[in-house]
Amino acid sequence: MSHTYAHSLSNDINPKLLLALIKTESGFIKNAKSNHKAIGLTQIIQKWHKKKLKNRSPLNPVVAIEVGTLILKECFVSNKNNEVKALSCYNGSKNKIYFNKVKKQEHILSTYIKNQTILTLAQNN
């Protein structure tokens, strides 16, 4: 989780959005593989991202987070920080279905964090 936080902040990406993307892409399964040859936490297709991978494996969670974050950052830049378009770029989709999936996971994560904060505050009083 610390790698996710560090890479997201250093690339001006909301950490919850990156975690939601990972949940959507791989379900937090570090050795996840798709039918489209995407692998790892952030489902990287190696033949498209050789330069970013630098002969490293996207099955390594640290590498997957680093490279996935760089890809997402490029998508944000090329789409003028439009979140719908950036997420569609990351996924290679042309509609809002993927965006909606990621945002649903982000909402679930935000709700969990809020509830944990309330619980912690209640226990400390």
Which CATH number belongs to the domain containing residue 88 in this structure? Answer: 1.10.530.10
The CA distance from 65 to 62, in Å, is: 5
Q: Are 30 and 64 in contact (CB under 8 A)?
A: yes
Percent of the chain with pLDDT over 90: 81
Interior/surface letters 25-49, b for 16+ CB within 10 angstroms, e for the rest: bbeeeeebeeeeebbbbbbbebeeb
Q: Count of domains in the chain?
A: 1
Confidence of residue 125 (pLDDT cuts 50, 70, 90): low
pTM above 0.85, yes or no: yes
> Hey, how many other C-beta atoms are within 10 angstroms of the C-beta on 87?
25
Supply the range of the domain harboring residue 104: 2-124
Tens-place pLDDT, residues 35-91: 999 999 999 999 999 999 999 999 999 999 999 999 999 999 999 999 999 999 999
